[in-house]
Amino acid sequence: MSDIDAMASTPEAYALNPGKDFTRHRKISFKDLVLLPITMEAGTMRHELYKYFNYQEDTLSNSAYCQQRNKLAPETFKSLLQRFNSHFPPAPYKDKYQLMAADGCTFTFTRNPEDTISFYGPDGKSTKGFNQIHTVALYDLISRYYVNAKIQPIKKKNEFKALAELIDEYEHHDLMPIFIADRGFFAYNVFAHAIENKSFFLIRAKDKNMMRLTGSSIDELPDDLDISVTRILTRSASKKNRKQPDKPDAYRYICKAVRFDYLPEGSKDEYEITLRVLRFKITDPSYENIVTNLPVEEFSADDIKDLYNLRWGIETSFRELKHILGTGNFRSKKREYIEHEIWAKLILYNFCSVITQHVVFKRAKRKYEYQVNFTVAFNACHYFIRIKNGDSPPNIEGLIRQNILPIRPGRNYARQHRFQIPVSFAYRF
Confidence class of residue 419 from pLDDT cuts 50, 70 and 90? Answer: low
Instruction: With beta carbons less than 8 A apart as the criterion, state whether 167 and 181 touch.
Output: no
Sorted by where each begins, the domain ranges of the chain are 1-72
CA distance 396 to 380: 6
Q: Which pLDDT score, from 0 to 100, does residue 379 have?
A: 86
Instruction: With beta carbons less than 8 A apart as the criterion, state whether 236 and 244 touch.
Output: no
Mean pLDDT for the stretch of residues 140-161: 96
pLDDT at 427 > cutoff 60? no
DSSP string, 254-270: --TTS--TTS-TT---E
CA distance 56 to 32: 15
pLDDT at 218 > cutoff 60? yes
pLDDT tens digits, one per residue of 120-143: 988 777 788 889 999 999 999 999
Entry pTM: 0.91
Q: Which pLDDT score, from 0 to 100, does residue 412 have?
A: 66
Instruction: With beta carbons less than 8 A apart as the criterion, state whether 330 and 345 touch.
Output: no
Instruction: With beta carbons less than 8 A apart as the criterion, state whether 77 and 343 touch.
Output: yes
pLDDT tens digits, one per residue of 247-277: 999 999 999 999 999 999 889 999 999 999 9
Of all residues in the chain, what percent carry a pLDDT higher than 90? 65
Give the angle 35-130-117 at the CA atoms, nearest 5°: 80
In sequence order, the β-bridge partners of residue 105 are: 135
Q: What sign for the dihedral angle of Cα 336, 338, 344, 346?
A: negative
Q: Which pLDDT score, from 0 to 100, does residue 408 have?
A: 76
Instruction: With beta carbons less than 8 A apart as the criterion, state whether 7 and 79 touch.
Output: yes
- Please count the CA atoms within 13 angstroms of the CA of 143 that sit on its side-chain side: 23
Q: Is 326 left (phi over 0), alpha (psi -120 to 50) or beta?
A: left
Give the angle 80-52-353 at the CA atoms, nearest 5°: 45
Confidence class of residue 203 from pLDDT cuts 50, 70 and 90? Answer: very high
Q: Which pLDDT score, from 0 to 100, does residue 258 have?
A: 93
CA distance 383 to 372: 17
pLDDT at 88 > cutoff 80? yes
Which residues make Cβ contacts (< 8 Å) with residue 400, sequence separation at least 6? 355, 356, 359, 361, 372, 376, 377, 380
Instruction: With beta carbons less than 8 A apart as the criterion, state whether 147 and 136 touch.
Output: no
CA distance 275 to 260: 16
Instruction: With beta carbons less than 8 A apart as the criterion, state whether 227 and 279 touch.
Output: no
pLDDT tens digits, one per residue of 369-412: 778 888 888 888 888 888 876 677 888 888 888 888 887 776 66
DSSP helix/strand/coil, 377: helix
